[in-house]
């Protein structure tokens, strides 16, 4: 096609557009194009410098972050007060999703380890969206619930495996809560 | 340099003195220029803000009021479409209202112009009788000629109202163009404007700013909506109650009672004064007069406002100490006149709500942490 025309009829789902990024996240993969458009208006785009703190353990948590570019280290302090890395996250990963619906202090710290672009989605945005567009908000929350449930199932499997390994018995109640 | 005495080295050469003189002169002149331009900038800012103050405030309040309706429409249409539909509905309503009201309007104003002097002369007579009775008991009071003073004041008021009416009609006309326009944009882009403001906060505090902005705007819209709906209901109740009697100007008195009801403690008292005065002059002390007094005090204030509306519409959180209410009214009146008196108290309540929300937020997140330890 003629380059002039191709630039005029450029596809909306460009690879570097925010919609494209959101659509390829597992949480939002089942959203309709219209819902994606609304979601794009609701999320916040934030840029972090190398070594910039995103949040610290104990901070009031109110939402989740998705990594668009760069990388993030999740760490906590061990008994001796030394930093102990729990995970290193790359583009497409997300973190902090447990505080999206239930307000709680952050359970670990997060720091950008290179220049990083994050997409934030916060509880206030979800609440406002629920009032305006209950349907869209519902499909977003369904996706989130699916991913969180998968993670929870994986975690319970892991606990069971560790139980079998060590032979220790953890009561079923404490696993489920 | 080496051969010269040390003392000579320390003092300045003529060129340096000249340079220092020039630099200092320019510095002082520049400082003065910046200062004067700054004061003129502040003057400009003050003029601009005084022009924008009332329309901005009105359209913000209107936007707070209409936002829930637009949100309801938004489930079926786009946001801009919903605002347009709402505007068309409102316009039709206002059109029908004025169409029904226009014939009465003219006679209403001429009645008012005739009646006001009558009311003032009646009150002046009443005051004179009262003063005569007082003079017989306390002769020293003869020096104070209260009735004459009252009449002079009332005539001044009337003249001011009559001469200001065309002027304020111009102003109201301007407001009727500007306020719907501003309201439209606040309704359509209010969320985007808030987002842009919140986006300015640094990364470290962004999350907190987002949460706080959400909680504060929710509380604020509840407060503004509650206050306005309360004033409207009081206005309607007073109007209905008054139109059961033979009193004139029932709608105007009702509107006045509703507007003054926005001010706590003092407002209701100010709001009932004209109604009771007119009832006293026109109807005399009789069954209807006492019905009007009961309507103002017992029905409107105690029963409807205190027992029904305030518990439902307004959270106790925004209650202000009476002393703070007086401060707000006095300072508001000093800054912006009558409008300042009406909005002073809500603005102080708004500041209180913001501070309280910040405190609740900090407390909410401190509790689980201390529970963990």
- How many residues are listed for chain A in this entry? 177
What backbone phi and psi angles, to 5 degrees, belong to A112? -80, 130
- Of the pLDDT bands very low, low, confident and very high (cuts 50, 70, 90), residue B65 is confident
B207/A61 Cβ within 8 A: yes
**Residues from chain B contacting residue A122 (CB–CB below 8 Å):** 207, 210-211
Tell me the Ramachandran region of residue A57: left when phi exceeds 0, alpha when psi lies from -120 to 50, beta otherwise: beta
Search chain A and give the residue with CA nearest B362. A60
Q: Is A157 a residue whose pLDDT tops 90?
A: yes
**Bridge partner list, A9:** none
What sections of B200-306 are H helices per DSSP?
203-243, 250-260, 267-283, 287-294
Q: What are B86's two structure tokens?
A: 């709402």
**Contact A119/A21 with Cβ under 8 angstroms?**
yes
Q: What are B151's two structure tokens?
A: 């009449």
Tell the residue number behind the tokens 């309503």, with chain if given.
Answer: B93
Looking at residue A11, its pLDDT comes to 54
**Contact B253/B237 with Cβ under 8 angstroms?**
no
Q: Does A46 touch chain B (CB under 8 A)?
A: yes
Which of A132, A136, A137 to probe the B interface (max B CBs under 10 A)? A132
Tell the residue number behind the tokens 């069954």, with chain if given.
Answer: B287
Looking at residue B347, its pLDDT comes to 81
Q: pLDDT tens, B78-123?
A: 888 889 999 999 999 988 888 877 777 777 777 777 777 777 777 7
Q: Does A133 touch chain B (CB under 8 A)?
A: yes
CB neighbourhood size of B356 (10 A):
15
- Strand A94-95, strand A104-105: pairing: unpaired
CB neighbourhood size of A61 (10 A):
22
A124/B213 Cβ within 8 A: yes
- How many residues are listed for chain B in this entry? 373
**Residues from chain A contacting residue B210 (CB–CB below 8 Å):** 44, 62-63, 120, 122, 124-125
Q: Is B161 a residue whose pLDDT tops 80?
A: no
User: Could you give the C-alpha distances from B82 to B75, B88, B300, B326, in angstroms and in order?
Assistant: 9, 10, 35, 41
- Of the pLDDT bands very low, low, confident and very high (cuts 50, 70, 90), residue B373 is very low
B211/A44 Cβ within 8 A: no
A59/B210 Cβ within 8 A: no
Q: What is the nearest CA distance from B254 to chain A, expressed in angstroms?
A: 35
Highest mean pLDDT among B1-5, B319-323, B350-354: B350-354
Look at the pTM and tell me if it is higher than 0.80.
no
**Contact B260/B268 with Cβ under 8 angstroms?**
yes
CB neighbourhood size of B290 (10 A):
11
Q: What is the nearest CA distance from B224 to chain A, expressed in angstroms?
A: 19
- Cα end-to-end span (Å), chain A: 58
Q: Which of 195-234 (B) contact A at CB < 8 A?
A: 195, 199, 203-204, 206-208, 210-211, 213-215
Q: Which position has the higher pLDDT, B314 or A79? A: A79
pLDDT average, residue stretch A72-81: 86
SS3 (DSSP) at A49: coil
Q: pLDDT tens, B225-276?
A: 888 888 899 899 888 888 888 877 788 888 888 888 887 777 888 888 888 8
- Of the pLDDT bands very low, low, confident and very high (cuts 50, 70, 90), residue B3 is very low
Q: Exposure of A137 by Cβ count < 10 A (0-12 exposed, 13-18 middle, 19+ buried)?
A: buried
Mean confidence (pLDDT) of chain B: 80
**Contact A39/A61 with Cβ under 8 angstroms?**
no
Looking at residue A5, its pLDDT comes to 58
- Of the pLDDT bands very low, low, confident and very high (cuts 50, 70, 90), residue A148 is confident
Q: Which position has the higher pLDDT, B159 or B233? A: B233
User: How many Å apart are CA A156 and CA B324, to the nearest integer?
Assistant: 57
A132/B211 Cβ within 8 A: no
Q: What is the nearest CA distance from A150 to chain B, expressed in angstroms?
A: 26
SS3 (DSSP) at A77: strand
Q: What is the nearest CA distance from A105 to chain B, expressed in angstroms?
A: 6
Q: What are A105's two structure tokens?
A: 């202090």
User: How many Å apart are CA B74 and CA B69, to the nearest integer?
Assistant: 9
What backbone phi and psi angles, to 5 degrees, belong to B163? -75, -25
Q: Is B311 a residue whose pLDDT tops 90?
A: no
Residue A140 neighbours by CB under 8 Å, 6+ apart: A27, A28, A31, A35, A39, A126, A129
Q: What are B81's two structure tokens?
A: 């479409």
């Amino acid at each position: 096609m003629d380059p002039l025309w191709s630039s005029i009829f450029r596809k909306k789902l460009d690879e570097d557009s925010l919609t494209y990024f959101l659509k390829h996240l597992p949480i939002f993969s089942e959203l309709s194009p219209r819902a994606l458009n609304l979601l794009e208006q609701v999320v916040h785009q934030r840029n972090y410098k190398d070594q910039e703190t995103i949040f610290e353990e104990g901070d009031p948590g109110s939402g989740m972050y998705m990594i668009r570019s760069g990388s993030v280290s999740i760490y906590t302090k061990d008994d001796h007060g030394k930093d102990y890395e729990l995970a290193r996250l790359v583009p497409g990963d997300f973190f902090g999703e447990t505080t999206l619906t239930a307000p709680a202090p952050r359970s670990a710290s997060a720091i950008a380890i290179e220049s990083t672009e994050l997409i934030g989605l916060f509880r206030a945005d979800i609440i406002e969206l629920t009032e305006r567009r209950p349907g869209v908000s519902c499909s977003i929350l369904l996706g989130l619930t699916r991913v969180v449930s998968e993670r929870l199932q994986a975690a319970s499997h892991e606990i069971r495996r560790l139980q079998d390994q060590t032979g220790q018995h953890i009561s079923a109640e404490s696993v489920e809560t | 340099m080496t051969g010269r005495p040390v003392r000579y080295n320390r003092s300045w050469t003529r060129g340096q003195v000249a340079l220092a003189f020039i630099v200092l002169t320019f510095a002082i002149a520049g400082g003065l220029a910046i200062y004067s331009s700054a004061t003129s900038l502040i003057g400009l800012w003050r003029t601009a803000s005084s022009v924008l103050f009332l329309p901005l405030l009105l359209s913000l309040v209107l936007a707070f009021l209409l936002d829930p309706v637009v949100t309801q429409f938004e489930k079926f249409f786009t946001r801009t479409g919903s605002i347009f539909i709402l505007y068309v509905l409102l316009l039709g309503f206002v059109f029908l209202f004025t169409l029904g009201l226009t014939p009465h309007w003219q006679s209403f104003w001429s009645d008012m112009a005739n009646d006001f002097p009558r009311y003032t002369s009646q009150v002046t007579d009443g005051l004179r009788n009262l003063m005569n009775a007082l003079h017989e008991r306390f002769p020293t009071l003869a020096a104070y000629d209260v009735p004459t003073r009252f009449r002079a004041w009332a005539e001044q008021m009337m003249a001011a109202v009559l001469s200001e009416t065309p002027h304020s009609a111009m102003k109201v006309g301007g407001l009727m163009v500007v306020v719907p326009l501003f309201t439209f944009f606040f309704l359509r882009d209010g969320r985007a404007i808030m987002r842009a403001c919140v986006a300015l906060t640094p990364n470290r505090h962004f999350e907190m700013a987002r949460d706080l902005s959400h909680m504060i705007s929710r509380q604020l819209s509840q407060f503004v909506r509650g206050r306005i709906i309360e004033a409207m209901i009081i206005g309607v109740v007073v109007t209905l109650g008054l139109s059961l009697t033979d009193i004139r100007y029932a709608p105007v008195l009702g509107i006045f009672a509703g507007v003054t009801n926005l001010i706590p403690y003092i407002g209701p008292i100010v709001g009932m004064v004209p109604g009771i005065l007119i009832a006293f002059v026109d109807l005399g002390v009789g069954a209807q007069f006492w019905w009007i007094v009961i309507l103002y005090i017992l029905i409107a204030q105690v029963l409807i406002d205190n027992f029904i509306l305030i518990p439902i519409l307004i959270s106790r959180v925004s209650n202000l100490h009476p002393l703070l209410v007086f401060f707000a009214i006095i300072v508001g009146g000093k800054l912006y006149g009558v409008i300042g008196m009406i909005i002073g108290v809500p603005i102080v309540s708004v500041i209180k709500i913001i501070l309280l929300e910040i405190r609740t937020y900090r407390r909410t997140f401190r509790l689980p942490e201390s529970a963990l330890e």
